Amino acid sequence: EGQGRVICIDYSSINIAKRFHIGHLSTTMIGNALYKIYEHLGYKCVGINHLGDWGTQFGKMICAYKKWGNREEVERGGIHAINDLYVRFNSEADEQMEAEAREYFRLIESGDREANELFDWFKSLTLAYVQTIYDRLHITFDSYAGERFYTDKMAPVVEELRQKGLLKESEGAQIVDLEAYGMPPCIILRSDGASLYATRDIAAAIYRKKTYDFYKCLYVVAYQQNLHFKQFFKVLELMGKEWAKDLIHVAYGMVSLEDGSMSTRKGKVVYLEDVIQKCVQKAGDIIAEKNPGLENREQIAKTVGVGAVIFGALYNNKIKDITFSYDKVLNFEGETSCYVQYTCARANSVLEKGGKGGKYSVCEVLDQEYELVKKLAEFPATLHDALEKYEPCFVARYAVDLSQLYNKFYFDCSILNAGDENIRNFRLALTEATLITLTNALKLLGIGVPEKM
């Protein structure tokens, strides 16, 4: 299907010096799943982590570090230490510190060596930290070109906007008026000449088109930023970029926990690493109880626990706000990845006992077999639909449906003791096809499959 056409996917796109909270789970996993499904259908993907590595907050961090921090503590505490300093700045900084922070930010922008060394250091500590999370989730990116990368790529954009008569002055700032489209203006330059988030995104889109000549460029970003994307897509369209229609905001809803925690503003933040840790531990407990003799239990608990976190983020239509529940995502009989994984383990064990089965020719099939075959045949169309709507949940649902049909078949129809050799072979073939398809479905969502569970 893809014929090598290029899809840029902007996802995860973390902010430097901030920790990874559960809100980042959706963008990371939806982006990763779309990436894998596109590649599977023959597209060429470019995964971009559009780092939030630019903005006045970095001046604040340097200011806080200079006032309260020291090198050993930050080396030791890494992202946690930087984060603490930033939080402290926000609660304690007075007018003078705010002014100093602005000055530090200006120093970063003007290329001052010390300020940039500190910034680069914060950045490398953040990247080392997120890498540990990406490793657990098996996520990689093709590019980490973030906001700062576009610093020297904005002047030509501003110039082009000016030449095309799109820039207007408003209270000292340079804006593109979008009133005709029912939107507030898109601010391009502040009155002090500084660029904005949108300016960088416009420059980034132009750069991506030039560099990758994408067929589509996806932005997997929370729906809170709907207006931002609409605005800068429109600006690009007004600039005459006919490819602006190929920019797509893949919006998703919020994730919260059952106790209501999540939002940074309320202060009750849930960090993703803690959620993963807890799921792996719970998965381990359940497996120990269900199957105490199982070898390699720790590894399996990891695959099951991490899978549960990912599947939990992917099972619903992405625009819905979801409430993450440990019990729900780890319910072995529910609509979960562990249910699918368990079905795979079951199919595996059937094949282990029965072999892959030889030739068969079947003239009559039972309903359970027919339903299963029909579902297996739907897999390619499911992938296609998932991309058309940018909904990895179609694949997640499909995996659950297929598992249910297989389990019905497994309980209703004897496979190993089918009696007739022809039927036995057919049922083994169905089992193998199910295992392959479920494994592929989970793999495309970024989830592994243990052989035994």
Residues that bind ligand ARG (CB under 6 A): 10, 13, 15, 50, 52, 201, 219, 221
Query: What's the closest the beta carbon of residue 13 comes to ligand ARG, in angstroms?
Result: 4
Question: Rounded CA gap, 324 and 313, in Å?
Answer: 8
Residue closer to ligand ARG (CB basis): 201 or 369: 201
Name the minimum Å distance from CB 93 to ligand ARG.
22
SS3 of residue 184 by DSSP = coil
3-state secondary structure string, 276-325?
HHHHHHHHHHHHHHHCCCCCCHHHHHHHHHHHHHHHHHHCCCCCCCEEEC
Nearer residue to ligand ARG within complex by CB, 149 or 410: 149
Distances (CA, A) of 88 to 63, 78, 267, 292, 363: 11, 16, 13, 47, 74
Q: How far is the CB of 370 from ligand ARG (least distance, A)?
A: 46
What gap in Å lies between CA 68 and CA 103, rounded to an integer?
18
Nearer Cβ to ligand ARG (231/403): 231
CB nearer to ligand ARG: pick between 129 and 409: 129
Minimal distance in Å, beta carbon 138 to ligand ARG? Answer: 21
**Residue nearer to ligand ARG on the CB measure, 66 or 234:** 234
Give the distance, in angstroms, between the CA of residue 113 and the centroid of all CA atoms in the same chain.
Answer: 34
Non-local (6+) Cβ contacts of 449 within 8 A are 303, 341, 344, 438, 439, 442, 443
Nearer to ligand ARG, 53 or 335 (CB): 53
- Three-state secondary structure call for residue 13: coil
Q: Are 279 and 324 in contact (CB under 8 A)?
A: no
DSSP 54: -
- CB of 15 or CB of 261, closer to ligand ARG: 15
For residue 176, the cross-strand partners are: 167, 186
The three-class DSSP label of residue 57 is: helix
CA separation for the pair 435, 429 (Å, rounded): 10
CB of 207 or CB of 332, closer to ligand ARG: 207
Minimum CB distance to ligand ARG smaller for 221 or for 338? 221
Q: Which of 282, 385, 406 is nearest to 341 (CA)?
A: 406
Q: What is the DSSP string of 423-447?
A: HHHHHHHHHHHHHHHHHHHHHHHT-
The minimum distance between CB 6 and ligand ARG, in angstroms, equals 17
In the complex, the smallest distance separating the C-beta of residue 146 from ligand ARG, rounded to whole angstroms, is: 8
Q: How far is the CB of 143 from ligand ARG (least distance, A)?
A: 12
Q: How far is the CB of 47 from ligand ARG (least distance, A)?
A: 12
Query: Which of residues 148 and 346 has its CB atom nearest to ligand ARG in the complex?
Result: 148
Min separation Cβ 12 and ligand ARG, Å: 9
Question: In whole angstroms, what is the distance from residue 312 CA to residue 296 CA?
Answer: 24
- Identify the helix (H) or strand (E) that includes residue 383: helix 379-388
Provide the CA 181 distance to its chain's centre, in angstroms: 31
Nearest Cα to Cα of residue 37 among 447, 445, 448: 445
As measured in angstroms, the least distance from the Cβ of 268 to ligand ARG is: 19
